[in-house]
Structure 1
Amino acid sequence: MSININDPASAQLSAYELRQLIRHDKFKENTSGFAQGCVQGNIVILPKDWANDFLQFCQFNPKPCPLIGMSENAGDYLLPDLGKDIDIRSDVPGYRLFVDGTFKQEFTDIKELWRDDLVTFVLGCSFSFEDALIADGLEIRNISENKNVPMYRTNIPCKTAGRFSGETVVSMRPMLAKDAIRAIQICSRFPSVHGAPIHFGQPELIGINDINKPDYGDSVTIKENEVPVFWACGVTPQLVLEQTKPPFCITHSPGKMLVTDIANSTLAVL
């Protein structure tokens, strides 16, 4: 089944309908722009004996790791608080397996990898605040160019928690300066999905040497008079996991999120 965000029928898929397509291997693409109005989440799955340290890491670093849900008990793979019939083993378009901090393989289903000691964390995603920006008339370049959002490693340190430490990963969207200011105003209302940008303008100040070569995702066009605007990104845990080296970990593939039934509007802080 071919699904394109520019196809009105595809854009109108509900979160549940999209998850069913993902579960049955009929959708394996980036989820940006789909199930508009619904919260999308980054995924981290860890053994129980690493879970408390990671929970504290999220609490210490709410910008890159805004926690919106987690499994109630170790071994639980259903997440009823986040949506109808969500099975974390099959309802994400792409998963990445890390062993001792080293990336091993990508999967579209992790049922064969599932263990009774695993704890799932779902972190807020920038795709959620994109809806609010679009509703205000701002262009989101990665959506208009049908690409994955560009993401970069930075020199911005995260606060250490237990065994977890590392630097922040950011996502970037180019904008005119006046639109960047408006984006700050809009996104400040959404702290559960990364909140306001953490930097805009000179990328070298945060350790990015080449804006046209993202570490994750795709390069997008930056037009004349536009500035790069950077948000803390939920791919941060993947970098931290590479440095911390837990014996076993599963994350989402960059750009391929868990699409929940939660409405973005419920996360807004008035």
Structure 2
Amino acid sequence: MTQLATPLLQQTYELRQAIRSRAHTGPTSGLATGAMQGNIVILPAEWANEFLLYCQKNPIACPLIGVSEVGDFHLPDLGKDIDMRHDLPEYYVYRDGVKVESRADIADLWRDDLVVFVLGCSFSFENALSQAGLTPRNISEDVNVSMYESNIATVPAGRFFGNTVVTMRPYTPKEAIRAIQITTRFPKAHGAPLHFGTPQDIGIHDLDKPDFGDAVSVKDGEVPIFWACGVTPQVAVRNAKPPFCITHAPGKMLVTDMLDMDLAVL
């Protein structure tokens, strides 16, 4: 993968430092434009192979872009001085599949048997959408992206199973065609949409009540477009019930030093 040019490289490093110092605690959508962002799942090593297989069986919802060595909280291939104990705006902690707390860092929870998985994020194609004049509504309204648990089943692997979580961005039908063309080029950032149009067809009954993130406005003449989301593993974790797991809080990603265009198929 290609490292960012120096000005943006400095920006991503400073953003991670701001997150580490708690100067930034909000969503990361629209920040460090051009930098790849990632969803995070941290599991004990004894669960890692099963989760790896789950990702391999579900590459659209769970596109792997990085895996740490056992016990290593650094990810040097993805960025300068990344420290997974501190560099997310918010962490979720799960015990036996139940989210028991959210916290600003996980330094006191870190264990030598933990493995970090980094999954591609749809925030990585939002820059391309914006450059094409299709700025996502969550960016223009300065809120977290809307996320919903759909009825689209993933392929089970070991103890991991569940439905796909999707993000939603509204566009007019004409804009949707262009958005589909653009995002199809980003298979490691969830690629083309899974569905567009009637939300009820995929088990979503109220766009104003997302399961994660914030609701955004849908204007007259627009239709909702749904992409797979890297929060999907949190549903699988809820179902698999590992004794211990840590994830990112939805919308609050790891910002890397890699180009989001490295996820594109040109």
Same fold (TM over 0.5): yes
Aligned to 1:16, what secondary structure does the other structure show? helix
Cα deviation, 1:103-153, whole Å, max 9, x if unaligned, reads: 000011100000000000000011110000001111210011010001001
2:33 to 20, 31, 36: 36
> 4+ runs of 1 displaced by more than 3 Å?
none
Aligned match of 2:13 = 16
* In structure 1, C-alpha distance between the alignment counterparts of 2:151 and 2:20, rounded to whole Å: 37
* In structure 2, C-alpha distance between the alignment counterparts of 1:57 and 1:106, rounded to whole Å: 25
Whether 1:256 aligns to 2:252 is: yes
- Listed as ranges, the matches of 1:172-251 within 5 Å are 172-251=168-247
The answer on whether the counterparts of 1:40 and 1:125 sit within 8 Å (CA) in structure 2 is yes
Instruction: State the TM-score, normalizing by the size of structure 2.
Output: 0.96
Aligned match of 1:54 = 51
Deviation at 1:13, TM superposition (A): 6.9
Whether 1:167 aligns to 2:167 is: no
- Listed as ranges, the matches of 1:7-156 within 5 Å are 14-71=11-68, 73-156=69-152
* In structure 1, C-alpha distance between the alignment counterparts of 2:233 and 2:220, rounded to whole Å: 33
Query: Counterpart amino acid of 2:79?
Result: G
The answer on whether the counterparts of 1:99 and 1:245 sit within 8 Å (CA) in structure 2 is yes
* In structure 2, C-alpha distance between the alignment counterparts of 1:264 and 1:152, rounded to whole Å: 24
Cα deviation, 1:147-190, whole Å, max 9, x if unaligned, reads: 00010011100001111111000000010011111111001111
The answer on whether the counterparts of 2:156 and 2:162 sit within 8 Å (CA) in structure 1 is yes
Identity percentage of aligned residues: 61
The answer on whether the counterparts of 2:9 and 2:257 sit within 8 Å (CA) in structure 1 is no
Query: Counterpart amino acid of 1:225?
Result: G
Segments of structure 1 that go 5 or more residues without pairing to the other structure are 1-10
CA RMSD, Structure 1 to Structure 2 (Å): 1.1
* In structure 1, C-alpha distance between the alignment counterparts of 2:261 and 2:229, rounded to whole Å: 20
Query: Counterpart amino acid of 2:224?
Result: P
* In structure 1, C-alpha distance between the alignment counterparts of 2:174 and 2:114, rounded to whole Å: 45
